[in-house]
């Protein structure tokens, strides 16, 4: 162990001190390899290597505006194979890719991670804390293992959110109102002066309550109220022809109430509302990036980031995740780029009610990745070395490749090892809560972590093919599998909730999608995903009944004719355990319409869950019923 730590320290120090640190998401074609200025900000084209070697979907700024998405969550929910789980709608939401909530979320290169983890899950990023739609240039969703740059715990995949750079001097005001006393206000201003550019967005939101529907059961107005505000800023300063500084920061503040739903004999998940609990959440994140070598083929950067989170629900907790990232690339000819990087991160957390104060741990990492092109074949091997202060030294190799015989076909595959340490709440959490039965009697529910947990290890693999039938039609098929040893699982019961290591967790799935442009006014997409999960609790593998969408279906129809834009989307799930969830299947329909009165003034309206479907994506927490929203956007 000591020799591993010493070796890693020496390599990290020598790399940081002897090379220009920087750059790196790769683009490749059959002739040359080009490295872009920011490893987390690839230039996304049809030829981008990351898209070629994985199952990747890209949501552009045009897509965000044309489909009237109101936040990151609603945009991600329309990606085939993506599911979003939430407790009280509008208060917290976590994403699953390939059926797994171990997903890394990045914003302009900064990992947005909460070291204490989500309640009873592996998710670490609440989608409600991410930048507003007006601030986003694109969202890149990579399913399955990402590059070794991104760490070794992103089993489900990586969501990379790229914010807009300032340019033209412009200010936009967006105001809307809707169901349940909802009001939202957003102001965006951007511009540039000399070598300085900025893009700043601020927003305020309010809701009085929310409603759900399930065959006449409880739909009162006693829960789900909130007030929230956010501010996101990006400032870019060009220092000279080859270097620049970028400062990025985001602030979100949320205050409201959320109810806890407990099982009852009459109607699991609906009948017993045990409390209308106060929720307070504060997030302050920022990063500073120095980029250099921008006038060459292999630019580089050094970044410091700091994420702070403060939360109150059934407990108070504070957490901080900070670190330094550095990376450098060498172009070894027209067909070969070698990339090396180092990272140092620190987790800190306090949850006094749950039994721990000032817990911390550090992680040092070194990674190497080599992009090689052999005619129509691209191969990217890589390896990551992690030295965790609590869980020791681990190495996680990865290899990705794709073969593109012509402009129509692309065959891709990737395989990666997995190492993921337990979150702080997994290890140290402890809480006793007074609960009330329907007959008025009370009992104590105990929730507790496990300091003896082992880290999760295993592998993920993907293989797929995309076929461009013609310039208007694209097909994609992807097969994926993951296998984890010591998978961490929270078991929720009426009397106690606790965390443990499973012997095994295996997921197998397949995904189909088709995108079709009918003409310059109409287009549509169709998608299907199947995921089968098995777990071994010491008695052999058996089906995991807790997954919320074993069979997923998606369809979208879009009309755009000059000033008018109309979008209808459908999402459905079948094969669910109706003893675990409210229903074994569900179907939701969403409709959005916008009209450009002038080039600077747009009015819009949307209705989500048109049929007022009653369903749940998170056990015991019903999803929102029919919701309408109408608003206007003006730029000057």
What is the set of domains in the chain, with CATH numbers? Answer: 2-635 (2.40.170.20)
> How far apart are the C-alpha atoms of 82 and 100, rounded to whole Å?
10
Q: Above 80 in pLDDT, residue 197?
A: yes
- Predicted local confidence at residue 214, as pLDDT: 62
What is the predicted pLDDT for the residue at 440?
75
pLDDT tens track for 538-570: 888 888 888 889 999 999 999 999 899 999 999
- Rg (alpha carbons) of the chain, rounded to whole number: 24
| Pairwise pLDDT comparison (110 vs 19), residue with the higher score | 110
H or E element, residue 634:
strand 627-635
Average the pLDDT over each of 87-101, 382-396, 454-468 and give the range with the smallest value: 87-101
Instruction: Confirm if 228 and 254 have CB atoms less than 8 A apart.
Output: yes
Query: 442-448 and 496-501 as β-strands: parallel, antiparallel, unpaired?
Result: parallel
pLDDT at 35: 43
Min mean pLDDT across 106-110, 139-143, 269-273, 518-522 is at 269-273
Confidence of residue 79 (pLDDT cuts 50, 70, 90): very high
**SS3 state of residue 618:** strand
Angle at 115 between CA 24 and CA 356, to 5 degrees: 155
Number of CB atoms found within 10 A of residue 520's CB: 8
Better pLDDT: 387 or 212 = 387
Kind of pairing between the strands at 551-561 and 541-543: unpaired
CA dist 322 and 325 (Å) reads 10
> 484 pLDDT exceeds 50?
yes
Phi, psi at residue 173, to the nearest 5°? -110, 130
- Kindly indicate the confidence band of residue 115, based on its pLDDT and cuts at 50, 70 and 90: low
Chain mean pLDDT for the chain: 84
Higher per-residue pLDDT: 165 or 441: 165
Q: State yes or no: pLDDT of 220 exceeds 70.
A: no
606: CB partners within 8 A, 6+ apart: 68, 70, 590, 591, 592, 593, 628, 629, 630
Sequence-distant (6+) residues with CB within 8 A of 481 are: 460, 461, 462, 506, 507, 508, 509
What is d(CA 231, CA 204) in angstroms, rounded to the nearest whole number? 9
Q: Is the pLDDT of residue 54 over 70?
A: yes
Structure confidence by residue, pLDDT tens digits, 312-357: 765 678 889 999 999 998 888 888 989 999 999 999 988 877 667 8
Helix H or strand E encompassing 11: helix 2-18
What's the pTM? 0.86
User: How many H-runs (helices) and E-runs (strands) does the chain carry?
Assistant: 5, 38
pLDDT value of position 609 = 94
- Supply the pLDDT for residue 391: 93
Round to whole Å and give the CA distance between 398 and 370.
Answer: 11
Residue pointed to by tokens 């995740």:
321
Residue 163: which of 93, 248, 86 has the closest Cα? Answer: 248
- Determine the pLDDT at residue 363: 94
């Amino acid at each position: 162990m000591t020799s591993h730590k010493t070796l890693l320290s020496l390599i990290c120090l020598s790399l940081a001190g002897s090379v220009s640190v920087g750059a790196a998401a790769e683009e490749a074609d059959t002739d040359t390899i080009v490295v872009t200025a920011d490893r987390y900000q690839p230039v996304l084209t049809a030829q981008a290597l990351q898209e070629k070697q994985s199952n990747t979907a890209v949501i552009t700024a045009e897509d965000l505006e044309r489909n009237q998405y109101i936040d990151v969550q609603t945009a991600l929910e329309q990606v085939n194979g993506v599911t979003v789980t939430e407790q009280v709608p509008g208060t917290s939401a976590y994403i699953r890719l390939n059926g797994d909530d171990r997903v890394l979320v990045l914003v302009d290169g900064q990992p947005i991670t909460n070291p204490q983890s989500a309640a009873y899950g592996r998710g670490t990023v609440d989608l409600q804390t991410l930048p507003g739609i007006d601030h986003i240039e694109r969202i890149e969703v990579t399913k399955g293992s990402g590059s070794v740059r991104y760490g070794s715990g992103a089993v489900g995949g990586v969501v990379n959110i790229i914010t807009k750079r300032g340019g033209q001097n412009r200010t936009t005001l967006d105001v809307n109102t809707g169901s349940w006393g909802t009001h939202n206000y957003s102001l965006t201003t951007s511009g540039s002066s000399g070598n300085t550019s900025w893009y700043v967005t601020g927003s305020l939101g309010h809701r009085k309550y929310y409603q759900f529907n399930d065959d006449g059961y409880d739909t009162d107005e006693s829960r789900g109220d909130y007030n929230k505000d956010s501010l996101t800023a990006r400032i870019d300063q060009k220092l000279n022809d080859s270097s620049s500084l970028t400062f990025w920061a985001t602030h979100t503040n949320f205050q409201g109430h959320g109810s806890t739903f407990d099982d009852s004999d009459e109607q699991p998940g609906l009948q017993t509302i045990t409390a209308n609990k106060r929720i307070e959440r504060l997030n302050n994140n920022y990063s500073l990036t120095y980029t250099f070598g921008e006038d060459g083929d292999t630019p580089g950067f050094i970044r410091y980031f700091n994420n702070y989170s403060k939360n109150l629900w059934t407990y108070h907790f504070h957490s901080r995740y900070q670190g330094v990232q550095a990376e450098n690339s060498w172009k070894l000819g027209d067909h070969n780029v070698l990339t090396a990087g180092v990272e140092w991160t620190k987790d800190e957390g306090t949850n006094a009610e749950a039994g721990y104060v000032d817990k911390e741990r550090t992680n040092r990492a070194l990674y190497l990745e080599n992009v090689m092109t052999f005619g129509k074949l691209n191969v990217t091997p890589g390896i990551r070395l992690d030295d965790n202060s609590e869980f020791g030294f681990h190495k996680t190799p990865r290899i990705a490749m794709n073969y593109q015989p012509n402009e129509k076909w692309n065959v891709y595959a990737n395989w990666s090892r997995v190492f993921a340490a337990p979150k702080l709440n997994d290890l140290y959490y402890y809480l006793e809560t007074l609960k009330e039965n329907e007959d008025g009697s009370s009992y104590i529910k105990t929730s507790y972590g496990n300091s003896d947990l082992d880290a999760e290890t295993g592998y993920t693999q993907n293989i797929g093919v995309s076929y461009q039938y013609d310039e208007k039609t694209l097909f994609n098929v992807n097969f994926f599998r993951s296998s984890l040893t010591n998978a961490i699982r929270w078991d929720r019961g009426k009397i106690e909730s606790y965390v443990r290591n499973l012997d095994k967790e295996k997921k197998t799935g397949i995904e189909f999608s088709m995108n079709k442009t009918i003409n310059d006014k109409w287009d549509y997409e169709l998608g299907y995903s199947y995921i089968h999960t098995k777990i071994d609790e010491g008695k052999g593998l058996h089906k995991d009944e807790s997954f919320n969408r074993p069979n997923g279906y998606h369809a979208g129809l879009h009309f755009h004719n000059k000033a008018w834009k109309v979008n209808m989307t459908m999402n459905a799930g079948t094969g669910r355990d109706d003893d675990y969830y409210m229903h074994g299947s569900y179907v939701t329909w969403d409709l959005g319409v916008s009209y450009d009165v002038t080039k600077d003034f747009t009015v819009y309206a949307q209705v989500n869950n048109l049929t007022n479907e009653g369903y749940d994506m998170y056990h015991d927490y019903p999803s929102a019923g029919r919701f309408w929203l109408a608003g206007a956007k003006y730029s000057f």
